[in-house]
Structure 1
Amino acid sequence: MRLPVSGLLILALVLAGCGRIRESRLNPFNWFGRSQPAAVAVTEPAVPGRPDDPRILVAEVTEMEVARQPGGAIVRAAGLPPTQGWWDAALVAENNGEPVDGVLTYRFVVDQPRGPARVSTPQSREVTAAAYLSDIKLANITQIVVLGAGNSRSSRR
């Protein structure tokens, strides 16, 4: 059965309008992209606002992703400390979790091993940490940065 000319015209207009959705914040594929390496300028080993926190920045941030969840997103990062045995990993938000010019920054901190530690393989040393962000908090965020001692990774939308 053939579509009338008006039906084809309407179908063409609807399909052409779908291209604009790609730029919308409603499009789940237009969310935070893959993380990219970013320059790091970190001077303090302690977590700001928590002088009693003995944790230090992870040596290298190897990966970072922002995964959409109902009601918000989960920021997950993996890091590589110099040896095995590092623990108590966490993403600690800077500026009390408030974005600065649309950029929310996390410090990826870990606690030192409690005894002698082996170097072994990178896979056996990897640590992971995550943080949840609500949709309300995400409304003002255009970029998320995770800082390590030697590098940082960022993801923007």
Structure 2
Amino acid sequence: MKKPITILLVSAILLSGCSRVRESRMNPFNWFGQGERRQAAAVVTPAQQLAIEQGNLIAEVTDLRIDPAPGGAIVRATGLALTQGYYNAQLVAQNKGRPVDGVITYFFRAEPPDGREPVSTPQSRQIVVAKFISNSKLETIQQIQVLGAQSSLVSRR
């Protein structure tokens, strides 16, 4: 009778220690939080403002997630186009993908349709793009920013 109780007690103590790993910075699931919304005009530099004015940015960035993956992380952004029909969406890195002061910035670009398209519902205008970032690059990144024409999202470590 003492042996099963001892095993149960030791197992319970060991399992309670697992919660600390789950909440620690060593766990890749905790590297980046949920994206926080910012107005694009409040966070852009003059060079970024020029890129915004050159066009093809998605109207609004609505969601930003950083998912751990083998060998790095996947940056997944969801945006809302002005109308239906936008295509060839991609995350284009600023500064050739090199972080500046621990911040890597991506422009959420999509090609507009060739003509007039209906506006319709937000669900029909939603576009999702993703980009892989390797572990070696993640070591120098403290913040990931995705810019749209009217809004941007930022995820921090």
TM bracket (short chain)? 0.7 to 0.9
Superposed, 1:47-126 pairs within 5 Å as 56-126=56-126
Report if aligned partners of 2:35, 2:155 keep a CA contact under 8 Å in 1.
yes
TM-score by length of 2: 0.79
Percent identity over the alignment is: 49
User: Once the 2 structures are TM-superposed, how far is the Cα of residue 95 of structure 1 from its aligned partner?
Assistant: 1.1
User: CA deviation digits over 1:65-104, x for unaligned, max 9?
Assistant: 1111111111111111111111111100111111111111
Instruction: State the partner residue of 1:44.
Output: 50
Structure 1 runs (4+) greater than 6 angstroms displaced: 14-17
Residue 24 of structure 1 pairs with residue 25 of structure 2: yes
- Return the structure number with greater helix share: 2
How far apart are the structure 2 equivalents of 1:138 and 1:115? Answer: 40
For residues 110 and 55 of structure 1, the distance between their equivalents in structure 2, rounded to whole angstroms, comes to 9
Q: TM-score, length-normalised on structure 1? A: 0.79
C-alpha separation in 1, matches of 2:79 and 2:147? 10
Q: In the superposition, relative to structure 1, how do residues 23 and 39 fare at CA in structure 2: closer, same or farther (>3 Å)?
A: farther
Q: Any idea what the Cα deviations from partners look like across 1:41-67, whole Å, max 9, x if unmatched?
A: 3422469xxxxxx86111100111111
Structure 2 residues not aligned, in runs of 5+: none
Q: Contact (CA 8 Å) 2:29, 2:67: kept in 1 or not?
A: no
Q: CA RMSD in A?
A: 2.6
Q: 2:77–2:146: 8 Å Cα contact kept in structure 1?
A: yes
Instruction: Determine the C-alpha separation between the residues in 2 that align with 1:45 and 1:98.
Output: 17
Residue in structure 2 matched with residue 153 of structure 1 by the alignment: 153
**Which blocks of at least 5 consecutive residues in structure 1 are unaligned?**
48-53
Instruction: Give me the whole-angstrom Cα distance separating, in 1, the residues matched to 2:51 and 2:98.
Output: 21
The alpha-carbon deviation at position 127 of structure 1 amounts to 1.2
Deviation of 1:23 after TM superposition, in Å, equals: 3.2
Give the Cα separation in 2 of the matches to 1:82 and 1:18.
46
Report the 3-state secondary structure (helix = DSSP H, G, I; strand = E; otherwise coil) of the residue aligned with 1:44: helix
Amino acid at match of 1:118: P
SS in 2 for 1:34: coil
8 Å CA contact retained: 1:104, 1:145: yes
- Greater displacement, 37-46 / 79-88: 37-46
